[in-house]
């Protein structure tokens, strides 16, 4: 049975929550010009706990103007890399100093278990330190053509970056974009997700204390169809980095086309976890359970499809189902909780609908699918596992983005690849086998932007992050992020006087 113990202190709201989450534009905390707001809900009760400024096109205009002025008139893009690096290090220190407050706000706002929210500050700080190092250690390409010409590449920040971030692990995912954008010399406008805007309220003070000039960093809160759409459509924003679901990504791509904006989009996923009979099954089951039920299953790289070789299929199904039935469901603030509350009632209803769809399609429900006992309110769902899921089932094909695992058997390596690739998505994949020849072969045949062999999702900041097919466009991470936020300016220098054809110098012979 799952734990449903609650205590008053674990359900109480954090102290000193803001009554209004404001925008941050040009170094000032400001409401929307028209006074528009929207309520922000506590996932445990679905009751509003504050209101947030709802940015409109006029607020985006104001933020872009501030960012554009800071880019063209301010010192930020012209600072030496070492000077920007020092500021990024101070940002990292400010984030770590706010570790406990950040975890408290993140868990309360998103429903994530507090033990998992606590890791986000460290990861966010490491993002800033990493890119602080990248910009002082990076070198640019240079080419010499004999003794005639020397060619070199200069990196220039593109300008005002538009950053649109998701509601799952919001602070850490914001840092993935903020750190390289600032390191590259861009100024920016951040549009946080409307379902989880709270932790972003810590950023203005952190940026100010670190020495980020006014106007370099701006926040406009709001609904995606309003503030987000205005940011995408703004002609003075040449670059959009978006993380979110695929349908929204397609709309952004369409709306950006008229301005020929540079886009990086990390979108949805339906990632396969392929387990062969020769694998270390204990480790594979640990990874499979962790990958789908950590972070409430609300993660793009979750191994939401578990593909198992038939000789060990029944054994793996039984082990995973037993583990799922013992996942501890509880309040986000309880350090014993392993699976908290889903973020929003709309999302909760969507996940519950997929549970109903899976049962109606004939998949075998072996764990979960119900509300935990003792938690009558809020967005709680027991860890859910379906077995005997067929490729034609919607729960096999469509992203659920919740604590719902689909298990499917396979008989051959070829069938494993076919099943792994049989969705519109291609973000991440996981292979468990002790046959390295097989692992290396399948790693090239499975369609995914990222793949792990005998490992859960362990992130290396130096590597490119992104997907193929409906999972995204472009890559960020490491030097790839610097490539995205900068333009390559190529300078060709003649080393001696070169002969030039003299058109029009005389009559033709």
- CA-closest candidate to residue 178, choices 124, 232, 133, 223: 124
Residue 254: both structure tokens together: 């369409």
What pLDDT is stored for residue 7 in this prediction?
Answer: 44
What pLDDT is stored for residue 6 in this prediction?
Answer: 42
- CA-closest candidate to residue 191, choices 63, 80, 314: 63
Given the residues 194, 300, 309, 406, the one annotated as active site = 300
Residue 217: both structure tokens together: 């960093």
Question: Could you give the dihedral angle defined by the CA atoms of residues 172, 175, 176 and 177, in that order, rounded to the nearest 10 degrees?
Answer: 140
- CA-closest candidate to residue 385, choices 442, 437, 308: 308
Alpha-carbon distance of 423 to 293, in angstroms, equals: 21
Mean of per-residue pLDDT scores for the chain = 94
Asked if residue 117 lies in contact with residue 131, where contact means CB atoms within 8 angstroms, the answer is no
Alpha-carbon distance of 205 to 391, in angstroms, equals: 49
pLDDT digits (tens, 9 = 90+) for 415-459: 999 999 999 999 999 999 999 999 999 999 999 999 999 999 888
Alpha-carbon distance of 269 to 303, in angstroms, equals: 9
- In this structure, of 164-168, 312-316, 474-478, the range with the lowest mean pLDDT score is 474-478
Question: Which backbone phi and psi does 493 adopt, to 5 degrees?
Answer: -120, 125
Q: What is the DSSP string of 108-162?
A: HHH---HHHHTHHHHHHHHHHHHHHHHHHH----EEEETTTEEEEEEEEE-SEEE
Given the residues 36, 126, 266, 476, the one annotated as active site = 266
CA-to-CA dists, residue 60 to 55, 66, 262, angstroms: 7, 10, 19
**Whether residue 11 has pLDDT greater than 70:** no
pTM of the full structure = 0.94
What pLDDT is stored for residue 209 in this prediction?
Answer: 98
What pLDDT is stored for residue 509 in this prediction?
Answer: 58
Mean per-residue pLDDT for 300-311? Answer: 97
**Whether residue 141 has pLDDT greater than 90:** no
Paired with 491 in beta bridges are 152
Paired with 71 in beta bridges are none
- Residue with the larger pLDDT of the pair 154 and 93: 93
Distance of CA 439 to the CA centre of its chain: 27
> Could you tell me the pLDDT band of residue 350, with boundaries at 50, 70 and 90?
very high
Instruction: Give residue for tokens 């600032």.
Output: 182
Alpha-carbon distance of 459 to 176, in angstroms, equals: 12
Instruction: Give residue for tokens 């003075």.
Output: 236
Asked if residue 309 lies in contact with residue 484, where contact means CB atoms within 8 angstroms, the answer is no
What pLDDT is stored for residue 1 in this prediction?
Answer: 40
What pLDDT is stored for residue 113 in this prediction?
Answer: 96
Asked if residue 21 lies in contact with residue 201, where contact means CB atoms within 8 angstroms, the answer is yes
Asked if residue 366 lies in contact with residue 386, where contact means CB atoms within 8 angstroms, the answer is yes
> Could you tell me the pLDDT band of residue 4, with boundaries at 50, 70 and 90?
very low
Per-residue exposure over 455-467, b if at least 16 CB sit within 10 Å of its own CB, e if not = ebbeeebeebbbb
- Residue with the larger pLDDT of the pair 227 and 3: 227
- Residue with the larger pLDDT of the pair 121 and 67: 67
What pLDDT is stored for residue 137 in this prediction?
Answer: 86
Distance of CA 267 to the CA centre of its chain: 8
**Whether residue 2 has pLDDT greater than 50:** no
- CA-closest candidate to residue 103, choices 124, 133, 79, 130: 124
Residue 378: both structure tokens together: 């809020």
160-164/187-191 β-pairing: parallel
By three-state DSSP, how is residue 185 classified? coil
Whether 315 sits among the annotated catalytic residues: the reply is no
Asked if residue 79 lies in contact with residue 135, where contact means CB atoms within 8 angstroms, the answer is no
The share of the chain scoring above pLDDT 90, in percent, equals 88
pLDDT digits (tens, 9 = 90+) for 199-238: 999 999 999 999 999 999 999 999 999 999 999 999 999 9
Paired with 275 in beta bridges are 308, 432
Whether 300 sits among the annotated catalytic residues: the reply is yes
Residue 377: both structure tokens together: 């309110």
Asked if residue 242 lies in contact with residue 265, where contact means CB atoms within 8 angstroms, the answer is yes
CB neighbours (10 Å) of residue 328?
18
What pLDDT is stored for residue 3 in this prediction?
Answer: 41
Alpha-carbon distance of 486 to 182, in angstroms, equals: 11
Paired with 265 in beta bridges are 242, 473
Question: Which backbone phi and psi does 476 adopt, to 5 degrees?
Answer: -125, 160
pLDDT digits (tens, 9 = 90+) for 27-58: 999 999 999 999 999 999 999 999 999 999 99
């Amino acid at each position: 049975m799952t734990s449903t113990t609650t205590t008053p202190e674990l359900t109480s709201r954090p102290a000193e929550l803001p009554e209004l989450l404001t925008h941050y534009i040009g170094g000032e905390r400001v409401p929307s010009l028209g006074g528009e707001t929207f309520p922000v809900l506590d996932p445990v009760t679905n009751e509003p706990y504050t209101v947030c400024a709802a940015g409109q096109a006029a607020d985006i205009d104001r933020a872009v103007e501030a960012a554009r002025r800071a880019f063209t008139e301010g010192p930020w893009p012209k600072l030496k890399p070492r000077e920007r690096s020092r500021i990024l290090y101070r940002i990292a220190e400010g984030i770590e100093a706010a570790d406990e407050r950040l975890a408290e706000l993140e868990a309360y706002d998103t429903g994530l278990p507090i033990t998992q929210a606590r890791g986000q500050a460290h990861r966010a700080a490491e993002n800033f330190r990493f890119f602080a190092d990248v910009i002082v250690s990076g070198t640019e390409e240079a080419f010499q053509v004999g003794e005639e010409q020397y060619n070199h590449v200069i990196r220039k920040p593109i300008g005002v970056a538009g950053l649109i971030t998701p509601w799952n692990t919001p602070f850490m995912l914001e840092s993935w974009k903020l750190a390289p954008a600032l390191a590259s010399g861009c100024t920016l406008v951040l549009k946080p997700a409307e379902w989880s805007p709270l932790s972003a309220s810590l950023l203005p003070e952190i940026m100010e204390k670190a020495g980020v000039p006014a106007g370099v960093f701006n926040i406009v809160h709001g609904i995606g169809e309003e503030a987000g759409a205005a940011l995408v459509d703004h002609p003075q924003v040449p670059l959009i980095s978006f993380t979110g679901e695929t349908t929204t990504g397609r709309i952004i791509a369409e709306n950006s086309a008229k301005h020929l904006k540079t886009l990086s989009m990390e979108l949805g996923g339906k990632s396969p976890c392929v387990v062969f009979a020769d694998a270390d099954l204990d480790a594979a089951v640990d990874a499979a359970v962790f990958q789908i039920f950590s972070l409430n299953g609300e993660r793009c790289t979750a191994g939401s499809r578990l593909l198992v070789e038939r000789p060990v299929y029944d054994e793996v199904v039984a082990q995973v189902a037993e583990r799922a039935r013992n996942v501890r469901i509880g309040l986000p603030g309880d350090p014993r909780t392993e699976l908290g509350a889903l973020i929003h009632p709309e999302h909760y209803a969507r996940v519950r609908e997929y549970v109903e769809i899976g049962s109606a399609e004939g998949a075998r429900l072996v764990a979960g699918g119900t509300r935990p006992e003792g938690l009558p309110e809020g967005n709680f769902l027991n860890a859910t596992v379906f077995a005997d899921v067929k490729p034609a089932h919607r729960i096999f094909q469509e992203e659920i983005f919740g604590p719902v695992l689909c298990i499917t058997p396979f008989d051959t390596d070829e069938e494993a690849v076919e099943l792994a690739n049989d969705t519109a998505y291609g973000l991440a994949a996981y292979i468990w086998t002790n046959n390295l020849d097989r692992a290396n072969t399948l790693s090239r045949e499975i369609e995914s932007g990222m793949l792990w062999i005998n490992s859960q999702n362990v992130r290396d900041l130096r590597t490119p992050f992104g997907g193929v097919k409906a999972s995204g466009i472009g890559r960020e991470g490491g030097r790839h992020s610097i490539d995205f936020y900068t333009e390559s300016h190529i300078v060709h220098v003649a080393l001696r006087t070169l002969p030039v054809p003299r058109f029009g110098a005389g009559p033709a012979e």
